[in-house]
Amino acid sequence: MKLYNTLTRRKDEFVPLVPGKVGIYTCGPTVYLFAHIGNFRAYVFADTLRRVLEYLGYEVKHVMNVTDVGHLTSDEDTGEDKLDKEARLEGKKPEEIAQFYEQAFFADAAKLSILRPNVVCRATEHIPEMIELVRRIEANGFAYRTAVGLIFDTGKYPEYALLSRLNLAEQQAGARTRVDPERRNPSDFALWITNQPNHLMQWDSPWGRGFPGWHVECSAMSIKYLGERFDIHTGGIDHIPVHHTNERAQNFAATGKEVVVHWMHNAFLVIGDARMGKSEGNLVTVSELEKRGVSPAGFRYLCQTALYRMPLSFTAESLSSAQNSLRGLVDFGRNAQGWPVKDAAWTEPYRQEFKDAVADDMNIPQGLAAVWSLVREGNQRQDRAAWDAILDFDRVLGLGLGKLSETQVHEYKVSDSSNVTIAVRFVASPPGTPAEVVALAEKRQAARDARDWDAADHLRRDILDRGYVVEDTKDGCSVKPRP
């Protein structure tokens, strides 16, 4: 398969370091607030990457960190820790804040069918590993002390600017932050921060009591769980110039190696012309989405309509478009389940198309085109083989189509006055449909059989009042929740 690599700026052929196996590290959430759906685009992307690799037969080890310390509110390495700040604000301990928002994060992730990474690692539980990594960096001569703590000397790493293609000479030092006169280079950053007595979370270290710089955790934990050379590192595009650039520098300073082979970055979800962000005041969470009548699966579908590397427009219109598309897919599934598998052979070209698309740098939109071809042709052929193929694709799409289209069929006999069965009718409905609704549907069919259209229409109204719509077919009807 091919994957775009930020380091080389082109689609590279993906060759795993160990045949058949893939290690992925994903920059996870900083658990001091609810994650918004802009954040979740990144995790849907990472999850889809994992699913694609598994679909193509790789054994994937997916590692994700949870940042619960060391992420400062400014990059001057002197600001408040986000967790500390929120803890003070809410009058709680940092651990309580972290625990609460971590739990909330994974609850939302589960709603979005994001598979839990094989390893979820918390920064605070890896302080010894971080200290060890920093010690190696220092021993290799890449660090120096200042009043702030231990600082990474980016001048010692000639390739420092390669990932972001920064032109350090032209960068305006201190254009937006004050200059620390003790720094050797404007891009130098803290590995271990000391002399911050107000910081709530502190640990002893060779450099004094303090806490790790933000970038250290990802280097330390990715290396711990995936080794000193691993396949893929994912994150948002905003991480390229600072976080990942620094991480890469640390990796090299500690190990002497290019640790990460493929760097992959997702573009932002954009609202109108702006990104979604806390300071923009346009955050939308998964719960808010649900309140607006958009299912998590609908949002996930929206994410799958665009390439992960392209900005995606998040508007009321694009959302409802996605939600409607998903509904169409689910409707097809409900119908298709009533059909026999006639001939699976005709689905082969579409299966191939899907596979080729996702193997080409995860071109999910192209894969969706194959899905819709199957819907169209499956409908024409009335062949469940189409649905079987789509369910197979859903291992990648992660829309939960199987569950969403679940249907129970209630069959019953219709008899004449002398108790002779004259027909077998059915009512199909999703699990959880109230029995009352099914009963009304049955009653309505009887009215229809009696050609009592007024009664039938009246009953349809009653069913609608209970939140369900009826669709008639030859020998029965199906009821489903009103869209």
Partner RNA sequence: GGCGGCUUAGCCAAGCAGCAAGGCGACGGUCUGCAAAACCGUUAUGCUCGGGUGCAAAUCCCGAAGCCGCCUCCA
Which lies closer to RNA via its Cβ, residue 83 or residue 135? 83
Distance CA 481, CA 474 (A): 21
Strands (E), 109-164: 119-122, 143-145, 149-152
Asked if 311 interacts with RNA (CB under 7 A), we say yes
SS3 91: coil
Looking at residues 159 to 178 of the shown chain, list those that interact with RNA (rule: CB under 7 A).
Answer: 164-167, 170-172, 175-177
Q: Identify which range of 119-127, 132-140, 418-426, 470-478 contacts RNA by CB under 7 A.
A: 470-478
Asked if 13 interacts with RNA (CB under 7 A), we say no
Residue count at the site for RNA (CB under 7 A)? 90
Measured CA distances, 447 to 181, 413, 471 (Å): 87, 15, 15
Looking at residues 181 to 240 of the shown chain, list those that interact with RNA (rule: CB under 7 A).
Answer: 214, 235-240
Q: How far is the CB of 444 from RNA (least distance, A)?
A: 8
Q: Identify which range of 55-63, 90-98, 105-113, 274-282 contacts RNA by CB under 7 A.
A: 274-282
Helix intervals (H) in 149-270: 214-226, 245-255
Q: How far is the CB of 12 from RNA (least distance, A)?
A: 15
383-386 contacts: CB < 8 A, separation 24 or more? 383/339, 383/340, 383/341, 383/342, 383/343, 383/346, 384/336, 384/337, 384/339, 384/340, 384/341, 384/342, 385/341, 385/342, 385/343, 385/344, 385/346, 385/347, 386/332, 386/336, 386/347
Binding-site member from 275, 351, 410, 466 for RNA (CB under 7 A): 275
Q: Identify which range of 14-22, 137-145, 190-198, 275-283 contacts RNA by CB under 7 A.
A: 275-283
**8 Å CB contact between 469 and 479:** yes
- CB-count burial class (<10 Å; 0-12, 13-18, 19+) for 451: exposed
Q: Identify which range of 12-20, 144-152, 429-437, 471-479 contacts RNA by CB under 7 A.
A: 471-479
Asked if 448 interacts with RNA (CB under 7 A), we say yes
Distance CA 427, CA 13 (A): 51
Asked if 277 interacts with RNA (CB under 7 A), we say yes
Binding-site member from 216, 226, 254, 307 for RNA (CB under 7 A): 307
Calculate the CA 96 to chain-centre distance.
25
Asked if 99 interacts with RNA (CB under 7 A), we say no
Asked if 156 interacts with RNA (CB under 7 A), we say no
Which lies closer to RNA via its Cβ, residue 135 or residue 301? 301
Looking at residues 339 to 398 of the shown chain, list those that interact with RNA (rule: CB under 7 A).
Answer: 360, 363, 365-366, 368-369, 372-373, 375-376, 379-380
Asked if 120 interacts with RNA (CB under 7 A), we say no
**8 Å CB contact between 476 and 445:** yes
Which lies closer to RNA via its Cβ, residue 293 or residue 328? 328
Nearest alpha-carbon partner for 367 in 389, 400, 382: 389
Asked if 446 interacts with RNA (CB under 7 A), we say no
**DSSP letter string, 187-220:** T-EEEEEE--TT-S--B--TT-SEEE-HHHHHHH
Asked if 143 interacts with RNA (CB under 7 A), we say no
Asked if 450 interacts with RNA (CB under 7 A), we say no
Q: How far is the CB of 266 from RNA (least distance, A)?
A: 6
Looking at residues 67 to 86 of the shown chain, list those that interact with RNA (rule: CB under 7 A).
Answer: 71-76, 82
Q: Identify which range of 13-21, 194-202, 287-295, 321-329 contacts RNA by CB under 7 A.
A: 321-329
The secondary structure element, H or E, covering residue 442 is helix 435-449
The secondary structure element, H or E, covering residue 413 is strand 408-415
Binding-site member from 114, 264, 276, 437 for RNA (CB under 7 A): 276
Which residues on neighbouring strands pair with residue 13, listed in sequence order?
2
